[in-house]
Amino acid sequence: MGDRGTGLLKIAGITTLLLLLWCILVWESPLSFLTPNNLENLLRRTSLYGVLGIGVAFVIISSGIDLSIGSLVCLAACLLALFLQVDYVPVGQVEVWQVRADASTISVAAEHGFKQGDELWYYKDRRNKGLVKVVDIGDTELLDGKSVTVLTVEPPPKRDQDSREEKPVGKISSTFDVVNYGGNAAELENNAPELKHNDKILFVHASETPREKTVDQNGEANQIILTDEDSGLNADFRAVPIRKTPYMSIPLALLSVFGIVLCLGVIHGLLITRLKMQPFVVTLCGLLIYRGLSRWLTNDQTVGFIEYQETLGKVATGRWETGIQFMPVKVDPTDDASSWKLVWDSAEGAQMFGIPYSFFIFLAVIVSAIIFLNLTVWGRHLQAVGRNEEAARYSGISTHRITTLAYVLCAVLTGLGGVMFAIDSNSIAPSSFGNFFELYAIAAAVLGGCSLRGGEGSILGVVVGTALMQTLYNSIVLLKIPDELEFTIIGAVILFGVAGDELTRMLAAKFRSKEA
């Protein structure tokens, strides 16, 4: 839409800059730059930041701005971690509300499923625990407003509960007979629940220390294979099966995160279009609010996905092997001269180049964004609104809806970026995760030819802009430029890039008027 010529010129300009930088890196530091590992990393980082760049590009094209991206990345990451938090809960566990040694009773929450004769495992803390047998199940009664069932047990509990103790005063759960134990396999009684990979079993004994074991798989007929052997175990122990219970399943957690960021995007949009608040102010408040929320929700503790190494972890570190193997090596390893060559295929030292999975997500985002912006009605309307909102409104476009859509798209892509960053880093410190990401995203978009005046910008430009930013970062490491100068260099390159762009535009205008 509009001036295609200058748009292409911009992309060509910044691509030249990127190629130039690559040439410098190949020239100066080929042995570290051209390794499959480094290139993969560059691709991964570009993909992660690129998703954010494309998000903010929509908002910039609508002639707005979104400063909340970094905090929203953090919030999305923290929410995902919280939603996927894992608890290990013994099967059929209920709370204990009162313990009386003299009457040898334990009052448990009324929704228990215990029967007379069951052997139960009572646990309060390391000193207050033990196996008890249900002698009698009493009536349900009210205790401090809770309905509880009084169980008469033996042996009697060791001591009364202290009235000052916090309630509940422990937990109690069913145990099952270990019919057979040998090697790393335990056979449980028939009515024991089926267990899955990564569930656990706590083996308890009247006199011995309990041992917790991880389940590898549930074999035939209650034959449970554990991950390791333990010679101290035998059939005298009783088993407390423990289920791994995530707060949410992975799809549900993802859906919830996207739902929440989408709502936040809608709120941004409505505040800006309906209350006529300035985008800068709205998203600045977002920046502060989401950061604070993230820290509060996580108690300012670092969160991660340790329990998900085999699912999310694999996506994060996963890559599609291209089959191309190479490695830059010195021509003569003993020679200090800087001559080098690439070795290919099965030559010694050559490594497989793989494309990170995150790149494929990025690719999908790029393609959808290009289609959306250029081929759909809404994309076109977005560009029109960015250029001249009034004229767009006078042409019968719902400018409020289109502007809101831009903020929603930005928030959703930020959420996606947040999820990708989260599983990539696997360690989210809520006070710093995502700091400055909005500025990286805006910088990449501006470098890629988006004008903060609105209505101008291309997705490809943003992609190249992001790649340039990440290559810059890479070159600071590889060329051994002092870390402290990182921001200075990135800032300077953006400044020169944009200044150069304006200069060529002026020259082009001059040239055109001369020509005619």
Partner 1 sequence: MPEHLLEVDRLSKSFPGVRALHQVSLTLKPGEVLSVIGENGAGKSTLMKILAGVQPADSGQIFVDGKKTSFETTRAAMDHGIVLIHQELNLCDNLNVGQNIFLGREPQKLGIVDSREISRRSEEFLKRVGLSVSPQTIVGRLTIGKQQMVEIAKALSVDARVLIMDEPTSSLSSKESASLFELIESLRDQGVSIIYISHRLAEVKRLSDRVIVLRDGEHCSELIGDEITHANMVSNMVGRDISQFYNRTPHPIGETVLKVNQLTTPHWPQHPVSLEVKAGEIVGLAGLVGSGRTELLRSIFGIDRPLSGSLEIGKKTVQIRNPKEAVHHGIALVPEDRKQHGLIIDLSVQDNVGIAGLQKNANRFGFANFQRQKSDTDTMIDRLGIKTPSARQIAKFLSGGNQQKVVLGKWLSMAPKLLLLDEPTRGVDIGAKQEIYQLIEKLASESMAILFVSSELEEVIGISDRAYVMHEGQLTGELDRRELNEESIMRLATNTAEHKEAKT
| Least distance between partner 1 and beta carbon 40 (Å) | 36
Decide if residue 457 touches partner 1 (CB under 8 A).
no
Distance between CA 316 and CA 351 in Å, rounded? 20
Contact 385, 407 (CB under 8 A): no
| Least distance between partner 1 and beta carbon 60 (Å) | 16
Contact 302, 428 (CB under 8 A): yes
Distance between CA 382 and CA 378 in Å, rounded? 6
Which residue in the set 142, 275, 337, 375 belongs to the binding site for partner 1 (CB under 8 A)?
375
Distance between CA 452 and CA 465 in Å, rounded? 15
> Beta partners for 31?
none
Decide if residue 335 touches partner 1 (CB under 8 A).
no
Distance between CA 114 and CA 176 in Å, rounded? 12
Distance between CA 159 and CA 149 in Å, rounded? 19
Candidate ranges 152-160, 296-304, 360-368, 384-392; the one touching partner 1 (CB under 8 A): 384-392
In the complex with partner 1, which residue's Cβ is closer, 142 or 377?
A: 377
In the complex with partner 1, which residue's Cβ is closer, 100 or 393?
A: 393
| Least distance between partner 1 and beta carbon 465 (Å) | 22
Contact 442, 414 (CB under 8 A): no
Decide if residue 276 touches partner 1 (CB under 8 A).
no
Provide the token pair at 26. Answer: 């190949």
Provide the token pair at 220. Answer: 């035939």
Provide the token pair at 376. Answer: 């759909």
Cα distance from N-terminal residue to C-terminal residue, the chain: 23
Interaction residues for partner 1, span 1-30 (CB under 8 A): 1-3
Decide if residue 480 touches partner 1 (CB under 8 A).
no
Interaction residues for partner 1, span 385-424 (CB under 8 A): 387-388, 390-398
Contact 286, 422 (CB under 8 A): no
What ranges make up the beta strands (E) of 252-369?
303-304, 319-330, 340-344, 351-356
| Least distance between partner 1 and beta carbon 508 (Å) | 11
**Does residue 353 sit in helix, strand or coil?**
strand
Which residue in the set 209, 231, 339, 513 belongs to the binding site for partner 1 (CB under 8 A)?
513
Angle of helix 69-83 versus helix 437-447 axis, rounded to 10? 130
Provide the token pair at 247. Answer: 């707060």
| Least distance between partner 1 and beta carbon 315 (Å) | 29
Decide if residue 505 touches partner 1 (CB under 8 A).
no
- Number of amino acids touching partner 1 (CB under 8 A): 26
Which residue in the set 271, 381, 412, 445 belongs to the binding site for partner 1 (CB under 8 A)?
381
Interaction residues for partner 1, span 73-112 (CB under 8 A): none
| Least distance between partner 1 and beta carbon 430 (Å) | 38
In the complex with partner 1, which residue's Cβ is closer, 109 or 450?
A: 450
Candidate ranges 16-24, 52-60, 358-366, 378-386; the one touching partner 1 (CB under 8 A): 378-386
Contact 247, 83 (CB under 8 A): yes
In the complex with partner 1, which residue's Cβ is closer, 279 or 455?
A: 455
In the complex with partner 1, which residue's Cβ is closer, 451 or 470?
A: 451
DSSP states of 424-458: HH-EE-TTTTTTTHHHHHHHHHHHTT--TTSS---
| Least distance between partner 1 and beta carbon 445 (Å) | 19
Distance between CA 77 and CA 85 in Å, rounded? 12
Decide if residue 275 touches partner 1 (CB under 8 A).
no
| Least distance between partner 1 and beta carbon 441 (Å) | 25
| Least distance between partner 1 and beta carbon 61 (Å) | 13
Provide the token pair at 428. Answer: 């989210």
Decide if residue 380 touches partner 1 (CB under 8 A).
yes
Which residue in the set 88, 340, 360, 378 belongs to the binding site for partner 1 (CB under 8 A)?
378
Binding site for partner 1 (CB under 8 A): 1-3, 375-378, 380-381, 384, 387-388, 390-398, 455, 512-513, 515-516
